Amino acid sequence: MTIKTFSEYFNRLKKMRKNVYIDGKLVDRTDDRLKPGQNVIRVTYDCANDSNFEDVCTTKSHLTGEKINRFCHIHQSKEDLLVKQKMTRLLCYRTGGCIQRCMGIDAMNALSVVTYEMDEALGTDYYERFEEYLRYFQEEDLCANCAQTDVKGDRLKRPHEQDDPDLYLRVVESRDDGIIVRGAKVHNTIAPYADEIIVLPTRFMTNKDQDYAVAFAIPADYEGVKLVVRPAIHHKRIKLHAPIVEFGDAESFTIFDDVFVPKKRIFMNANGDARETPYAGFLALLFAHYHRHSYTGCKPAISEILASASALVAEYNGIESTKHVRRKLSHLIGTSELVYAAGESSALHGERSASGTYIPDEILTNAGRRLAGEEIYNEYKILADLAGGLAATLPYEEDFISKETGDFLNKYIKRNPKISSENVHRCFRMIENLLVSDLAGVNQVAGLHGGGSPQMETITMMSRYDLEPLKDIAKYLAGINKELNRYERPPVTPRKMLEKFRDYNKIKR
Amino acid sequence: MTIKTFSEYFNRLKKMRKNVYIDGKLVDRTDDRLKPGQNVIRVTYDCANDSNFEDVCTTKSHLTGEKINRFCHIHQSKEDLLVKQKMTRLLCYRTGGCIQRCMGIDAMNALSVVTYEMDEALGTDYYERFEEYLRYFQEEDLCANCAQTDVKGDRLKRPHEQDDPDLYLRVVESRDDGIIVRGAKVHNTIAPYADEIIVLPTRFMTNKDQDYAVAFAIPADYEGVKLVVRPAIHHKRIKLHAPIVEFGDAESFTIFDDVFVPKKRIFMNANGDARETPYAGFLALLFAHYHRHSYTGCKPAISEILASASALVAEYNGIESTKHVRRKLSHLIGTSELVYAAGESSALHGERSASGTYIPDEILTNAGRRLAGEEIYNEYKILADLAGGLAATLPYEEDFISKETGDFLNKYIKRNPKISSENVHRCFRMIENLLVSDLAGVNQVAGLHGGGSPQMETITMMSRYDLEPLKDIAKYLAGINKELNRYERPPVTPRKMLEKFRDYNKIKR
Amino acid sequence: MTIKTFSEYFNRLKKMRKNVYIDGKLVDRTDDRLKPGQNVIRVTYDCANDSNFEDVCTTKSHLTGEKINRFCHIHQSKEDLLVKQKMTRLLCYRTGGCIQRCMGIDAMNALSVVTYEMDEALGTDYYERFEEYLRYFQEEDLCANCAQTDVKGDRLKRPHEQDDPDLYLRVVESRDDGIIVRGAKVHNTIAPYADEIIVLPTRFMTNKDQDYAVAFAIPADYEGVKLVVRPAIHHKRIKLHAPIVEFGDAESFTIFDDVFVPKKRIFMNANGDARETPYAGFLALLFAHYHRHSYTGCKPAISEILASASALVAEYNGIESTKHVRRKLSHLIGTSELVYAAGESSALHGERSASGTYIPDEILTNAGRRLAGEEIYNEYKILADLAGGLAATLPYEEDFISKETGDFLNKYIKRNPKISSENVHRCFRMIENLLVSDLAGVNQVAGLHGGGSPQMETITMMSRYDLEPLKDIAKYLAGINKELNRYERPPVTPRKMLEKFRDYNKIKR
Amino acid sequence: MTIKTFSEYFNRLKKMRKNVYIDGKLVDRTDDRLKPGQNVIRVTYDCANDSNFEDVCTTKSHLTGEKINRFCHIHQSKEDLLVKQKMTRLLCYRTGGCIQRCMGIDAMNALSVVTYEMDEALGTDYYERFEEYLRYFQEEDLCANCAQTDVKGDRLKRPHEQDDPDLYLRVVESRDDGIIVRGAKVHNTIAPYADEIIVLPTRFMTNKDQDYAVAFAIPADYEGVKLVVRPAIHHKRIKLHAPIVEFGDAESFTIFDDVFVPKKRIFMNANGDARETPYAGFLALLFAHYHRHSYTGCKPAISEILASASALVAEYNGIESTKHVRRKLSHLIGTSELVYAAGESSALHGERSASGTYIPDEILTNAGRRLAGEEIYNEYKILADLAGGLAATLPYEEDFISKETGDFLNKYIKRNPKISSENVHRCFRMIENLLVSDLAGVNQVAGLHGGGSPQMETITMMSRYDLEPLKDIAKYLAGINKELNRYERPPVTPRKMLEKFRDYNKIKR
């Protein structure tokens, strides 16, 4: 059976080499501070094994025909894109935020397309290697981190121009059996409790950046890899146990200290062939694209979680039916719907790439992800607005238990006589977690930057959108052109992306 | 052949009784000030007869199996909703704005659902009458105005509470062969060049408002009907002929001076049956709903037209590649995509009503229409921003032709040496039309209010959205509830609308 | 007596040479289409002669000690800046918009500072000439246009790089008694009914642009000057006479067809001295600065006029006390207050320049003007929102008078029984003027671009604001610097502007 | 000498009775978790004793003529209001946020006005008591908390309607020598390290709420008072010591367990006189008003601190000169300037109340405070945007020190070769504190709600703003009224507030 359980996954983690550092110490993957992140991953295993969710969380492998976890699947249809989006939304409700596991499968889908394109154009055999890896990935129901973002040094300089050449991860040595890489990748969510790390390039590369145009996958505890980890977790509860505090995040600053990668795990730049360099940008872009499409699933859920908490606290505060509260809730809901709609529409306008993998529309995906990013801080503002100051001034749980102050606090926290003090307390304690905590800050930043900030989506949209045919509308209406042919904004999926990519890199087919 | 041509349509207009008033005069339907509006309608006939557009502009009647203009079609599938949306977008490109004809078919779709529901619940025979009317409508390829908005008098009072009982249109007499109605309807776009006027209620009605709960269709030149019309058209061009000035709008303040409506044209309140009264609100809502879904087709086009003009003038001004211009264009494009996506997603989550007519999702449609309304003035701002002051200070066309000033103006209007003065002139002349004209003002107001202002969409969304299951997410995360069942925001289409409608009106089935 | 009356001013206009072109015809300054603009100017003369307004509209000349119209005054104190701002606000209430006459005095104030600076640094005698001109200006209570904006051709090229060297106004010949200039200036509000045209440079000039660095003043009917004028006025009323339609605007595209300017009227570049060139940018900037400060007076009034109409129509519509209406009115009011506050605060932090003229703070003035520009379209949206569709669909006034339709319209327009139909009609007729008219479009564009668009204010703010001392706060808090000296954002007035100007142009004193 | 030092203040704290609870434990006022808040207060003492700041931080008592800390001063002039605003801004720079001590003096100023008004109208002697208390307050240079916000129970019910009558603080017993009060106050910043607690009513009170209309001042360690405290502080640094982590906040949930208040410390409802009840609302309002005016000093500083950090990190990231960064910085700066300008303008339009105390304009103050509240989350967004993800994923300081990972992290964090790794680290560590921490969350919520949320400012503005004279502008322009008298928005200060207060409460003078 290729669908694994959480305990199978966790048993794998237990066996891994110790290479996780937190707060100056080398720790086990069973460290308590990693548990909240692992609990997020648990939901992805549990739901695949839950008959209520199996329609969205599992599917059939196009490789083996086996039933697999959808987090291991290469999208074979528009429907697959739609269901992935839906799964993401539904699971996020259960974790109160980011489901984390999407990055692995987003990386795999991007690799499926680009390795195929390379093979076709250059006669390489990356797609075969990729399929072999995918088979293993699906069979073991693996959980992968995608390590994309380089530390980037001086942002005005390209990789090869940096004072320190290691500021982008690079191939330092090419051998018959593989390559040796050096560098660091940052913002690696999930890495300390992932099975695998999939390394992708972070940007377009010029000819001079050839050493930096590299992609591969390795086990997360591989020789030479160090994960310096910052967990973001909630205060434990004493009595008021609640799911919200069981979930958290851990971000890795991942160091590659001259790591050897064997041939079969390399998906780009295995042999130092300069013709592969331009594909780095294409791969970078395509991972970002899949990842942004995943955001059209999770971000709506996050808006809805914030709306849900807002509605609940508005009810408890007795202001649920006032006009301004309705308007603000409706804004949260509207944003959620619009972002989700963008993802669905994007799937609907998706297209099949040469490899068979489906790719969603780029304009729509970016428009959706951008709106989510633009709104994230405003959404927190709405929750803070409706909750009032108490979320930020709530005494600690111990004070609610203490003999000397507990009764007072429970008496004075009471609002609607029909709602128990405990429930009011639970509600505000949760909102405290959502608004006033390390994790709240991380979630805000992630909501803005994860998958690329609104700034990046604007750039992507505008580099793909063809303004010339659009201008034809104005030229026709102004009488500059005599005719207006039937104009439709074309889907911006593989064909268009590839064309632009080839044009840009002057690649002939 | 049931697909008619513009000249067939126009010949019908020529034969109509004179009942149009403009600027204090009774005028023919061939009056020059109505031509720009008729030119908009022309596009709907021309494209249905154009092989380039026939896939979107025509379809097969579910009644007769005949090929019909899609503007006469009752949506039989999600696909129908998607294609209607697409057609709306494509045709708007060609008219530089509102396609106007959608209101008729939106009214027809709403009637198809509600007459069926009434018959089912009350044993009436409205649906049969409706089908008969629809058959005629499709055969003749008719163009209809939907007269919904009453003048409403004191907005704090219900219809029956008004000092003057005529401030909402009402049945003043019920006869064996029909009813006599009195009142006025406003904001009736298209009415002076429509074949038919379809009258629908404007709001929910209480028992005491029974006389006001009425729906029917009559020819636009019917006895007792007076159309007091305000056209909004562009200045004619002398030499710089351009499509933009050929199109315009005319709004009617329509007076019903004791108009007799025969039985077969009445779709609600034909016999003074009080049980029908609650359906007034349902019909009002459903027309608004279809109309808002149409807006998810036209509003994206309007954003794109503004983006198109913005991109063109930015090119002519030589600033096309600056960052702030790219960002602003991208905002226009993003809004267009999001609104369109909301409409598509809404179609995707649409459902079949008992009558067989498909209804799009209400939350998604309203979220999309709302965003368009919220953004409309901002979109004009962006065009004004990129065009600069010249759109507002451009001398008249005659001055560009005049011997004494023409050469000077043409010399000094020149920008990029590669763009002729004439084209620069054409571009700014068009933007003057878009920004600085009666029609510009009308389009802004229509962009805000047409189909209901953002305020109304918020109210609609929140009256349909079920907050209780949403709150369950927060209750689960806070530990207030122990379990979270699989939650998905349910599609908000016929079932849900009907349920709420029945609950509200305490109707049992 | 140096305070003139409207009729004295108008008599001057009557005597002027015919050089105004409208719609291809050469017309008199008594042309009806110029009357609405002249009516605006009338308010500035009437109020100076009205005891109710004399405290704000008149003051004492620092040159002659005579009582003068404040529109002819050089600001001698912070109080002068505050009163000018107040006068602007109060007079705009009476014209329903822009008071137009500020540009002349803004130009004069800018000249007072820059001519003095030039004389001090270069030993020229411009300030003396300026004072002579000012004396005449004050004695005759003149009304001046400031012609600043060049047509600018290809915006990516500097003046001297243009294909056609005339695309910026320039000196084509230098003679002993004066200079000959050629070019065109655009967006010249007031020009066809101004006594004088004051020509200023539009931007910073490099050494190679020396011919373009020129400033002077000439009578508006001067030999070689052609004013190609676009008036924006309201439809005349038949019976419902109302101030709103009496006021309007006229914009001139002003052609300088080899115009001779005598020495005494030249304020820069009289003798082809290259050392003066850098002062062009300083003068351009300083006029913009005074003009933006004037906007902190007029824009609040415009927000209040829109708020006033919004409040009135909300009352008539019976929705005045609803929450969303209060919120929207309060937004208009808040914007007005913030912009006005920025102007006051700017005056408070103003400083005396070497010439004695007071200059307001640049950061504050730009922050205020920017907010006004950012909000202008939104403000129209609010009025449209509260008025509803009728402002855009209101039949013409004749239809309200006509026997066949008048009674119907008056019956059906009625809302609150206590408000007469005529008053409802008057209210919507005014809002039609405000929202749906050529002038409405012009006012929107002017609200955005007049005095420089938000884009320009951002650039100005950031080119003056010193980020380094600001960063010291962060450096201190982060522990990068050990100390934080007392930091205050310094006033950004003459000293700072001059320093930056000198640094930029490498001018030594 | 009435100006005290931090150590004098701190010595007072040390002597206080233990009544502070944190995390279930009764703690000393020397508890480490209170130190960061005390360090904020330290700045107010240090600067008053620092010749660099003495011009803003000290002034002359109008009571005694002694030099006093401005935090103990009753505003005697517009200048006093301006300087208080300036002091607030300057001191906030040094603490990286809220200066906390303003609430005490805001409460004292409100009391000075209202006690005087009561005495005048009712013949009471509260002002005398107040002056006595003020004398002590100034002499000892006291630091006071203002406890205003009640827990409020069911927000739809008035105090006397609550199920539990203690949900608003109230007089439970009136004795000859004083009163006994019961209840709780929340969001009491500073309380655990304040000398005094000044209790004020939270809202308007009806006749039936008489017991709740009470105001008084007591020592913070008074018998029966329990402070349940939630501190928000930063992680301590190991090596990278920095001011930002030295400062913090502590919020008290303050319980009044039948506390006896002696006569001389009661400022309202000392004798159960029902005529005093309406003054509760006036006092509530006036404290809020002074406090919002204080926010026009601190909020600009907070915007500038965020701008400062944004500018620094943009420099370190090498993107300082890109357009979008300039625009975003300029937005932060513009907001700061506008809010500050609103406060200055408000002071300028301030008026003297009968007691001699100056009161700033209410419309302007609220417009300024509201903008700050509306923008706060957006400002955090801008910092997060420019900082990038690292602020949220930065490994702990220990990992930068650790042998195994430190060198790697310092190598890879490097950007511009001229900026040391340590400084980059310091910069991001500070931004982590600003964005991703309990205190960050508290600051966001406080930025929104402190002094009243934007919702409250809108309500206050609209309840004071007189729409009728404003509408006269529209009535004149529309021709509804024939004349427009000179209209100016009147200052909204004591006269207007009192009038409205008296009208509302039907109080005759």
- CA B273 from chain center: how many Å? 31
Q: For residue B485, count CB atoms less than 10 angstroms from its CB and return exposed for 0-12, middle for 13-18, buried for 19 or more.
A: exposed
Tokens read off for B49: 């007869």
Residue C73: closest CA among C85, C87, C89, C62: C62
Mutate which: B98, B313, B376, B445, vs C, most C CBs within 10 A:
B445
pLDDT per position as a tens digit, C107-119? 999 999 999 999 9
Q: Is the pLDDT of residue D441 over 70?
A: yes
Confidence of residue C497 (pLDDT cuts 50, 70, 90): confident
Would you call C427 and D93 a contact, using CB atoms and an 8 Å cutoff?
no
DSSP state of D234: P
For C5-63, how does the pLDDT look when each residue is reduced to its tens digit (9 = 90+)?
999 999 999 999 999 999 999 999 999 999 999 999 999 999 999 999 999 999 999 99
Nearest 10 degrees: Cα torsion D383, D386, D392, D395: -120
Q: What does the pLDDT look like over C143-181, one tens digit per residue?
A: 999 999 999 999 889 999 999 999 999 999 999 999 999
Angstrom CA distances, B340 to A77, B381, C267, D9, stand at 22, 21, 57, 64
Q: Are D347 and D297 in contact (CB under 8 A)?
A: no
Residue B220 and residue B227 in contact, taking contact as beta carbons nearer than 8 Å: yes
pLDDT higher than 80, residue D154: yes
Residues with Cβ within 8 Å of residue C378, at least 6 apart in sequence: B377, B378
Q: Mean pLDDT throughout D416-434?
A: 97
CB-CB: which of C228, C380, C389 is closest to B377? C380
Q: Which residues of A touch D441 (CB under 8 A)?
A: 392, 435-437, 440-441
Distance (Å) from the alpha carbon of B412 to chain C's nearest alpha carbon: 6
Distances (CA, A) of D247 to A393, B274, C213, D444: 17, 71, 54, 16
State which residue of chain C sits closest to B384, comparing Cα positions.
C445
Nearest residue of D to residue A169, measured between CA atoms? D412
Closest CA–CA distance from residue C1 to any residue of chain D (Å): 25
Superfamily of domain D289-462: Butyryl-CoA Dehydrogenase, subunit A, domain 3 (1.20.140.10)
Whole-angstrom distance, CA of residue B134 vs CA of residue B68: 12
Banded model confidence at residue B509, pLDDT cuts 50, 70, 90? low
Q: Work out the burial of residue D482: count CB atoms within 10 Å of its CB; fewer than 13 is exposed, 13-18 middle, 19 or more buried.
A: exposed
B75 Cα distance to chain centroid: 17
Contact state of C473 with D334 under an 8 Å Cβ cutoff: no
Give residues with Cβ within 8 angstroms of D506, minimum separation 6. none
For residue A184, give the DSSP letter.
Answer: E
Which of C367, C470, C488 comes nearest D338 by C-beta? C367
Which residues of C106-200 form beta strands (DSSP E)? 144-147, 170-175, 178-189, 196-199
Pairwise CA distance, residues B462 & A330, whole Å = 6
Nearest to A390 among D186, D324, D381 (CB): D186
pLDDT (0 to 100) of residue C508:
63
Rounded Cα distance, C152 and C168, in Å:
6
Q: What is the pLDDT of residue A503?
A: 81
CA distance D20 to D221: 8
Q: How far apart are CA D34 and CA A39, in angstroms?
A: 35
Nearest Cα to Cα of residue C196 among C112, C287, C133, C251: C133
Where residue D230 falls among pLDDT bands split at 50, 70, 90? very high
Q: Hey, which chains touch A, using 3+ CB pairs under 8 Å?
A: B, C, D
Which of D228, D378, D444 shows the shortest C-beta gap to A395? D228
CA proximity to D91, closest of D297, D306, D347, D248:
D297
CA distance A386 to A313: 7
- Is the confidence at residue B506, as pLDDT, over 80? no
Question: What are C457-473's pLDDT values in tens digits?
Answer: 999 999 999 999 999 99
Q: Is the pLDDT of residue B1 over 80?
A: no
pLDDT at C328: 98
Tell me how many degrees the CA angle C113-C117-C121 measures, rounded to the nearest 5. 175
pLDDT of D44 over the 70 cut: yes
Contact D305 C473 (CB under 8 A): yes
Cβ–Cβ of C438/B438 closer than 8 Å? yes
Longest distance between any two alpha carbons in chain D, whole Å: 85
- The values of phi and psi at residue C455, to 5°, are -50, -45
Could you tell me which of D309, D444, D434, D325 has the C-alpha nearest to residue D374?
Answer: D444
Residues with Cβ within 8 Å of residue C47, at least 6 apart in sequence: C53, C54, C57, C90, C91, C94
pLDDT value of residue C493: 87
Given a contact cutoff of 8 angstroms between Cβ atoms, the answer to whether C264 and C134 are in contact is no
- B349 CA to centre of own chain: 22
C446 and C369 Cβ atoms separated by less than 8 Å: no
Among the listed residues C130, C136, C133, C137, the one whose alpha carbon sits nearest the alpha carbon of residue C116:
C130
pLDDT at D494: 83
Position B508 confidence tier, pLDDT thresholds 50, 70, 90: low
d(CA B447, CA B441): 10
* Among the partner residues B241, B304, B330, nearest to A462 by beta-carbon distance: B330
* pTM for this predicted structure: 0.97
CA D165 to chain centre: 28
Cα R_g (chain C), whole angstroms: 24
Residue of C nearest to D89 (CA): C488
User: From D377, which residue of chain A is nearest by alpha-carbon distance?
Assistant: A377
Nearest CA of chain C to the CA of D305: how many Å? Answer: 7
Question: Nearest CA to CA, how far is A377 from chain D (Å)?
Answer: 6
Pairs across A and B, CB distance < 8 A: 204
Chain A environment of B426 (Cβ under 8 Å): 478-480
Which of A93, A330, A479 is facing B487, going by the closest CB pair? A93
Name the minimum distance, in Å, from the CA of A165 to any CA of chain B: 30
Candidates B47, B336, B338: best to mutate against A (most CBs of A within 10 A) is B338
Domain ranges of chain B: 289-462
Question: Which of A321, A322, A323, A328 would best serve as a mutation to test chain C binding (most C beta carbons within 10 A)?
Answer: A323
Pairing of strands D215-219, D266-268: antiparallel
What is the per-residue pLDDT for A41? Answer: 98
Residue C501's pLDDT is what?
A: 81
Under-50 pLDDT residues of chain A? none
> Could you tell me which chain D residue has the CA closest to the CA of B322?
D323
* Residue C216, SS3 per DSSP: strand
pLDDT of residue C500: 82
pLDDT confidence of residue B495: 83
Query: Do B474 and A371 lie within an 8 Å CB cutoff?
Result: no
Nearest residue of B to residue D323, measured between CA atoms: B323
- Could you identify the residue written with the tokens 């793909």? A464
In this predicted structure, what is the pLDDT of residue B18? 98
Element (H, E) at C431: helix C421-435
> What 3-state DSSP class applies to C354?
coil
| B284-336 tens-digit pLDDT | 999 999 999 999 999 999 999 999 999 999 999 999 999 999 999 999 999 99
Judged by phi (left if over 0) then psi (alpha if -120 to 50, else beta), residue C450 lies in: beta
How close B21 comes to chain A (CA, Å)? 30
Tokens of C377: 């379209």
Paired tokens of C217? 């003043």
% residues pLDDT > 90 (chain B)? 96
Nearest CA in chain D to A255: D408
Look at residue B156 in the predicted model and tell me its pLDDT: 85
Q: Amino acid identity, residue B24? A: G
Minimal Cβ distance to B334: which of A326, A333, A370? A370
Q: How many angstroms separate the CA atoms of D498 and D354, rounded? A: 11
Q: pLDDT at position D337, please?
A: 98
The Cα of A282 is separated from the nearest Cα of chain B by a number of Å equal to 22
The ipTM estimated for the assembled molecules is 0.97
Under an 8 A CB cutoff, do C472 and D308 touch? yes
Q: Do C389 and B446 touch (CB under 8 A)?
A: yes
Question: Tens digit of pLDDT for each residue in B99-123?
Answer: 999 999 999 999 999 999 999 999 9
- What chain A residue is nearest to D324 in terms of C-alpha separation? A455
- Chain D environment of C344 (Cβ under 8 Å): 341, 344-345, 348
Distance between CA atoms of A216 and B484, rounded to whole angstroms? 39
Joined tokens for residue B450: 């047409």
The SS3 of residue A206 is coil
* Closest alpha carbon within chain B to D327: B324
Chains that touch B (3 or more CB pairs under 8 A): A, C, D
